[in-house]
Amino acid sequence: MANKTDVGAGHVHGTDPQHLIEKILASKIYDHSYWKEHCFGLTAESLVDKAVDLVCVGGTYGGQRKPTKFMCLLLKMLQIQPDKDIVVEFILNDDYKYVRILGATYMRLVGSPTEIYQYLEPLLKDFRKVRIRDPMGAYKITHMDEVIDGLLTQDYYFDIALPRLPKRVHLEAPKRLPPRVSGLEALKLLDETTGAGEGEQEQENEEDTSD
Amino acid sequence: ADGAGSDNEDLPATDDEDEDALLSAWKLRELQRIKRDQEQRDEFAKEAKEIERRRNMTDAEIAEENKRLGLKKGGDRGQMR
């Protein structure tokens, strides 16, 4: 069957990677014409071309909960299990927003907690607009960092149940992750935005040194 | 038509935006995230401190506090037995 997982693909979280998408959604994808016409026989390379053409992200929409193309490609990635390098390349690319989100979502599904934080957190600095298809089928505008934040903090996103991700604090305690450096600090923007929440500490420090 | 072709009807624009508005909106979101993260950390720290405090108490002290707080050893098993 064409919908079988690649024989070379290893198990993820102790199961067939395709099981990370619930059966009901997976069978909707298998029945979708985009899957049948455009996803058949895709390889890691030809999948890139399809991903570049994406114009929105989202889970399912409409009365019949039709899957988006984004979902079809995500399931395809689970099916063919591209090399980690390729997924990382998806995430690191700056030109194609939807390829980046596809890579990030895939990483969130199959990666280890440290990998997920390591690769997804830098994307919180990306504030470009992206289109997301809401359950009613309408296109909404959101931002890259909001999508990534959703992937990191929610347990259900894009209509799929995400594998459990430990809180950052619990990975920092045993030194498996360094503390997060916010994009604000990197840009030295914190001083500009004093008064609003975390800016205060930074300001105090500066006053001390100026004496 | 490829069945999923309805994707191309009037897509909202995501380009031609002024960077400044995007950046300031992002700054606000980022600050909210930092705040949320800090609150979470404070919560965990508080809990860890509470656990540490209880661990350093003698059995008698624990029993007394449980009584004061209305906690029962083993918890309430309810009616279903």
DSSP per-residue string spanning B15-59? SS--HHHHHHHHHHHHHHHHHHHHHHHHHHHHHHHHHHHHHTS-H
CA distances from A28 to A7, A36, A111 (A): 23, 11, 25
Task: List, for residues A115-160, the tens digit of each pLDDT value.
Answer: 999 999 999 998 899 999 999 988 999 999 999 999 999 999 999 9
Residue B48 at interface with chain A, using a CB cutoff of 8 Å: no
- Chain A residues in contact with B12 by the CB 8 A cut-off are 131, 139-141
pLDDT tier at B73 (50, 70, 90 boundaries)?
low
B73 with B66: CB under 8 angstroms? yes
Contact present, A60 and A135 (Cβ < 8 Å)? yes
Q: Does A12 touch chain B (CB under 8 A)?
A: no
A198, with CB counted inside 10 A (0-12, 13-18, 19+), is buried
H/E run at residue A194? none
Residue in A170, A198, A165 with CA at minimum distance from that of residue B36:
A198
**What single DSSP character describes residue A127?**
-
**pLDDT reported for residue B76:** 64
* pLDDT score for A13: 87
- Per-residue HEC secondary structure of A51-110 comes to HHCCCCEECEECCCCEECHHHHHHHHHHHHCCCHHHHHHHHHCCCCHHHHHHHHHHHHHH
Count of C-beta atoms within a 10 Å radius of residue A54: 20
Q: pLDDT category, A55, cuts 50, 70, 90?
A: very high
Q: What is the per-residue pLDDT across A90-109, written as a single tens digit (0 to 9) for each?
A: 999 999 999 999 999 999 99
What is the ipTM for the molecules in this complex?
Answer: 0.73
pLDDT number for residue A205: 44
- Read off the tokens for A13: 């979280």
Give the number of other CB atoms < 10 A from CB of residue A182. Answer: 19
Please say if the pLDDT value at position B9 is more than 90: no
Q: Is A202 on the interface with B (CB under 8 A)?
A: no
Question: Do A177 and A114 form a contact (C-beta atoms < 8 A)?
Answer: yes
pLDDT at A179: 84
Residues of B in contact with A55 (CB under 8 A): 7-8, 11
pLDDT at residue A195, as a whole number: 46
A189: which 2 tokens? 């923007």
| pTM for this predicted structure | 0.80
Inter-chain CB proximity A129 and B33 less than 8 Å: no
Q: Is A29 helix (H, G, I), strand (E, B) or coil?
A: helix
Distance from CA of B48 to the nearest CA of A (A): 12
**B66 and A CB contact within 8 Å:** no
Per-residue pLDDT band at A180 (split at 50, 70, 90): confident
Place of tokens 């399912």: A60
Is B7 within 8 Å of A127 when comparing Cβ atoms? no
A202 pLDDT more than 50: no
Give the pLDDT band (50/70/90) at residue A197.
Answer: very low
How far does CA A163 lie from the centroid of its chain? 12
Q: Pairing state of beta strands A129-133 and A57-58?
A: parallel
Q: Which pLDDT belongs to residue B66? A: 84
**Which positions in chain A touch B4 (Cβ < 8 Å)?**
32-34, 66, 68-69
pLDDT at A208 over 80: no
DSSP state of A125: G
Examine the pLDDT at A177 and tell me if it is beyond 90.
no
In DSSP terms, which residues pair with A66 in a beta bridge? Answer: A61
Percent of chain A with pLDDT over 90: 57
Q: Which of the residue ranges A2-11, A31-40, A196-205 has the most confident prediction, judged by mean pLDDT?
A: A31-40
Report the range of poorest mean pLDDT among A81-95, A118-132, B62-76.
B62-76
Of A44, A130, A149, which is closest to residue A89 (Cα–Cα)? Answer: A44
Contacts A–B by Cβ distance under 8 A: 82
- Which residues of chain B make contact with A140, given a CB cutoff of 8 A? 12
Chain A: nearest CA to B41, how far in angstroms?
Answer: 7
Q: Which phi and psi angles does A133 have, rounded to 5°?
A: -95, 120
Mean pLDDT of B27-50: 92
Q: Give the H/E segment covering residue B1.
A: none
User: Between A43 and B5, where is the model more confident?
Assistant: A43
Minimum-distance CB partner of A193 among B2, B4, B31: B31
Residue B27 to chain A, least CA–CA distance (Å): 7
- A32:B3 CB<8 A: yes
Tokens linked to A46:
């030809």
